[in-house]
Structures are given as structure tokens and as C-alpha cells.
Amino acid sequence: MTFRRKLVSVSVLLLFLVATLFPALLSGAYDIDAGKVFSLIWSKITGIANSDITRAEEIILWEIRLPRLILAVTAGLALSVSGAAYQGCFRNPLVEPYILGASSGAAFGAALAILFPHIFLQGQLTAFVFSLGAVFLSYSLVASRDRIPPLALVLSGIIVGALFSAMVGIMKYLAMDTQLREITFWMMGGLHYATWSDATLNLAAIIPVCLLLWYYSWRLNILSLGDEEARSLGLNPVLSRFFVIVAATFVAAICVSTCGIIAWVGLMMPHAARLLFGPDHRWVIPGAAILGAIYILVCDTIARTLTSAEIPLGIITSIIGAPYLLWLLRTKGRTAYGL
Amino acid sequence: MVCDTHLPFEHGQIIMSIRNLSFSYGAKEVLHNVSLEITSGQLCGLLGPNGSGKTTLFKCCLGFLKPDSGEIRLGNTLLSNYSHKHLAAHVAYVPQDHQPAFPYLVREMVEMGRTPHRGMMPVLSRHDHKAVDHALERVGLRQLADERYNHLSGGQRQLVLVARALAQEASLMFMDEPTSSLDFSNQLVVWETARALAAEGISVVICCHDPNHILWFCDNVAALKEGRLLAAGLVGSTITRELLEELYNRNIHTEQVGSRTFIHPSFAYLTRC
């Protein structure tokens, strides 16, 4: 695919994302027509009150649906970009934040912060620290001198993830009723508690780091060749990989701390982007980011409109994601991943 | 820090000098007191049985491993004084044929060779594209530029890696057993390419298991056994029956056909079996 065609594909995806924003804003238990959405956003930008919009509509749009939309889009970005970055720097198309244990580590950190708010003051920071710990643990369990065996990394990630899930279980056992409710929400993954503070945190933390990882995409290409080749091409593989792991874990942990554990997205979206654009990370990262944003947005809209009660988002993404991984392994496993 | 006055090198100048190099993995000494000079514009074959330390020597020369004692100089400057990036602009590595984790296009593989010259910016300049096209042209893979690297044959993949080293504009290339998994014709293509590079003033160090190939195509040879340098020099005078018998611990015959020397095992011994 030529540069121009890739550019067109990215633009089409972006348009598609914009097009999915409106159904997401408009659909729901309360019907609001498109004109009102525009006039509300316009009145918020200009600061001029609009008498057409009722107070209820304003609250539903501005305080419920819009932050939720921002959360969905940024969560999609965070999970897909971190998945693509992990896959490149570990040379392993089977890893993502959930499989590497980053999500469970972050959930454990968040649970700790809920249970002991006096010791762990900053929930997001605690989530990030434990998430980073989990990823480095999975990585150091299998890394030998110059090779990271792909399946062994997946296995050790699952083991580390199980360990942290078990520790979240202990936290749940120790928790009071309200704390238990909060922790359970983290484990399931969902956007139903969306607030503006979460949305602005996601916007401020996830978007700049995702852009930084995009800027790092050339290094990711080179890292994906292996450490010796990277070194012979003038890149310090250890330092670069360390940076990529920290940045990818950061966005994944922020996403977990605001939206809970949403599995498989980080695996599916980079792969879908690779089918569209080829393996070059300069295209995989933006492609996966937009696809991920669309995917979470669509899944979340389904999650809250399919039934009268809400289905947790993590359940929907897993129902679609697990068979996708199975299909990936059966069709491409042998040739592409050396399994 | 880095003195560049001697780069690029004149034909016949010493580009890399290795002095009294020793290296051990833990308690196991892999290289012992190796001294070798690599001359620019020449093809140097590295001969030695499995486990003789060839790969370790390569890794030391490429800066992957730090020698325990002794020194390696590129030009007049110690290798350890070069940054990763700076070293990569002068010395390239052509690894053994392998499958990459992701199915990059041939062009993308070669583009990565531009890294030491362009930094890590995601967009290539016109000059970079020119260098990539030129490198592909040189190895005759221009038509395959938009193919997937892992769909090529082993020989073509090896040539792509050579093209990447060319795009790197390195004056010294280390090729790790480039012909080991190739059929006869592809082996010849790789050797011909290596010769053409040497003719253009690039020094190439090739590690190879076939002494005949080294005799036919290389200018110089270095023979390693158990981490020690047994002999080094011009191929004609260095590769002798005695050297090969000492290297491989078996009877070896040499035969002169016209001006060419051929090395073969003792066929009398074979028929006796």
C-alpha cells in the first residue's frame, strides 16, 4: 500500500470515528435530537445560555453522555496504542496490557488505594506503579540474554495477572460494602461512572503519551527486529524498550484506573491495523488508536442500549475478543508467530 | 570524543585493528589474545569450526560485547568511544537469515538501515529514499521492493539484509554465515555481491564454513580455533592443507586445477567406509 492510500485509509477511519460519535451521543434511554447536541456544545463554547435546551437535557448530555464518550474514545486509544507498543517492543504479536498483567496490576493498585486511602493517596499513581511492577515481573521471568520467547512471555504474563487478581480478591475480602462495590467495578470494566474529572484526566494523560509513543514508532520498528540488529542500527535496545514499557504501561494503568479492566482490545486493534496498513508501527499506532476508539465507543453504546439494564463493557469486549484471539491463533499462529 | 579524521577510509588502509583481544562468558574463555587487522576494500573470510569463537569475535567488533582485555579500534579511535548511533554509521551487521516477528516489506527493512543517519524521526527525507532505492538497485531487488520480506527466498532475504547495510552507508560490514542456508546459486549471488562491495572500497568480513568459498572469493582469511587465532593473511598463502587439518582435526586434501586450489576430504577414506 502506498503512502497516499494509507493516508486516505487513516482519514476514512477518522471520519468513521466522527460519524460514530453522534449515535453514541444521541442514543440512550432519553431521546435527544442532533440539533440540540450542536446548540448545547455551541452554547458551552460561547458561554451564551440557550433557552431551547432543558436542564434535564443539559445534564444528560453534558454531565453523563459527553464525559462517557470522552472516556470511551480515550480508553480505546490507550488500550490499542499500549497493545501495539508492547507487541513491537517485545517482538510478540500476542501481548497486550491484559495478557502482560498490566491491567491486573493496575486494578490491584487501584484496590489498594480504595482500601487504604490514607497510605496510597493517589489512586492513579498507585495503579501505575503496580502495573509497571506487574509488566516488569512478567518480562523478567522469561527474558534471557537476547531472546524473549513469545509463548513463555504470554504464559508468565497470565501467571502474574492471576497473582494480582488473587490479591485483588484478598482486597475484596477485606473491603467494606461501599469499597467492595468500587473494586468490583474495576474488575468488570465499565464506563457508567463517567465523570468530567475522569474524562479530563484521560484526555490530559493519555493523549500526550500516545502521541509520544507514535513519535517512538520508528524505534518500535527497529526494536521489533531484535536486540542485536537494533544495536547494529544504532539504537540502544534496553533503554528504548524500557521507555516504551513505561509509557505503554502508564496509558494502560490510567485507563484501568478510570474505566476498569477492558480485556482483548489491546490485542485485537493492533492486529486489525496491521491487516489494513502492514506492520510498520508508524501506521499501526495511529490506525490501532482510531480503530480502538471506534470499537470501544460502539461496544459501549451497545452495552448501554441493548437491554434496559446496562451490560458491563468488559464483558462485551471479551465476548467478541476471545473468539478473535482463537481465530488468530488457528489461522496465523503457525506461520506468523512461530508457535 | 570521537575523532573522524580517518573516515572514510582510503583503499588498502587499515579500517579496524583488533589487539590482544580476550573475552570470556563467565569462567569460559571464548577468545584468547586475538590480534587481527581488517583492511579496507578487502573481503576477509573468517574460518573456524563450530564454537571456535567466530560469532563472539563478531559481537566484540560490533560493540555488542565488551572485551575483557585488549582493544578494538575503528580507524584510530577505540570502539568503546563510539556511541551506538555513531558506530552504526560506520559498521554494519548482516545477520544470519531469520524470520522477523512482523512481516515488513522489503523497502521497509532497507529503510531501517537509514536510522544512524536520520535519527528517529518518523518521516524519511528525499535523500533517505534515494539511498534506499540505490541500495535495492545494487543488490538487484528493486522489483521486489514492495513484496513482504518473509515471502522472499532465503537468498533474497540475505540480499535484503545486505541492502540494509548498504543503506546504512557503512564502510565495514560483518556478515554472519550469509550462505549457510542457501542453495548453490544463491550462495554465488551473495558472494558476487560481497565482491562487488569490496571493489567499491567497502570492507567485508564474512564468516563462512566452506574453505573453498573463502579460497575462491576472499582476499584475506583469519582462522580461529578454540578462541585462538591460528593464522591470518592472504588466502593463497594462508589456507594450506596443514592449517585446515589442524583446524578440523581430520585428513584433508588440496588439489590444484589450473590456477585454482580445491579442498576436499580424503575420498579413499570415504570409499573404505
Does B45 touch chain A if contact means CB atoms closer than 8 Å? no
pLDDT digits (tens, 9 = 90+) for B156-176: 899 999 999 999 989 999 999
Rounded CA-CA distance A209/A115 in Å is: 29
Tell me, what DSSP letter sits at residue B97?
P
pLDDT at B268 over 80: no
**What is the total residue count of chain B?**
273
Give the one of A91, A231, A234 whose C-beta lies nearest to B101's C-beta: A91
pLDDT digits (tens, 9 = 90+) for A239-266: 999 999 999 999 999 998 888 888 889 9
Partners of residue B121 in chain A, C-beta under 8 Å:
218
Does A232 touch chain B if contact means CB atoms closer than 8 Å? yes
Q: Are β-strands B220-225 and B43-47 bridged in parallel, bridged antiparallel, or unpaired?
A: parallel
Across A316-331, average pLDDT: 80
* Cis status, amide bond into A237, omega within 30 of 0: no
Looking at chain A, the number of H-run helices and the number of E-run strands are 15, 0
Does A6 touch chain B if contact means CB atoms closer than 8 Å? no
- Whether A189 contacts A121, CB under 8 Å: no
Summary mean pLDDT of chain B: 87
Contact A235 B99 (CB under 8 A): no
In sequence order, the β-bridge partners of residue B206 are: B45, B175
Across B253-264, average pLDDT: 84
Q: Cell triple for residue A172?
A: 475484596
pLDDT of residue B269: 61
Q: Cell triple for residue B195?
A: 565482491
For residue B6, name the pLDDT band (cuts at 50, 70, 90): very low
pLDDT of residue A123: 80
Query: The domain A3-333: what is its CATH number?
Result: 1.10.3470.10
- With CA atoms as reference, report the closest residue to A187 among A169, A212, A205: A169
pLDDT of residue A332: 65
User: B128 or B267: which carries more pLDDT confidence?
Assistant: B128
Across A109-120, average pLDDT: 84
Partners of residue A219 in chain B, C-beta under 8 Å:
120
Question: What residue of A is the nearest CA neighbor of B88?
Answer: A234
Rounded CA-CA distance A109/A120 in Å is: 9
- B73 φ/ψ sector (left φ>0, alpha ψ -120 to 50, else beta): beta
User: A3 or B174: which carries more pLDDT confidence?
Assistant: B174
Q: Map grid coordinates 475478543 to a residue.
A: A321
Quote the minimal CA–CA distance from A149 to chain B in Å.
11
pLDDT of residue A191: 82
Rounded CA-CA distance A94/A153 in Å is: 9
pLDDT digits (tens, 9 = 90+) for A272-302: 898 888 899 999 999 999 999 999 999 998 8
Partners of residue A229 in chain B, C-beta under 8 Å:
93, 95
The radius of gyration computed from the CA coordinates of chain A, to the nearest angstrom, equals: 20
Quote the minimal CA–CA distance from B116 to chain A in Å.
5
User: A193 or A333: which carries more pLDDT confidence?
Assistant: A193
Helix, strand, coil proportions of chain A in percent (round to 5)? 75, 0, 25
A vs B, Cβ pairs < 8 A, gives 81
Contact B101 A92 (CB under 8 A): yes
pLDDT of residue A151: 83
pLDDT digits (tens, 9 = 90+) for B93-107: 999 877 788 889 999
- One DSSP character per residue, A149-167 reads -HHHHHHHHHHHHHHHHHH
Contact A338 B99 (CB under 8 A): yes
Rounded CA-CA distance A67/B37 in Å is: 67
Across A177-204, average pLDDT: 82
- Three-state helix/strand/coil letters over A49-94: CCCCCCHHHHHHHHHHHHHHHHHHHHHHHHHHHHHHHHHHHCCCCC
pLDDT digits (tens, 9 = 90+) for A206-231: 999 999 999 999 999 999 998 889 99
Boundaries of every domain in chain A: 3-333
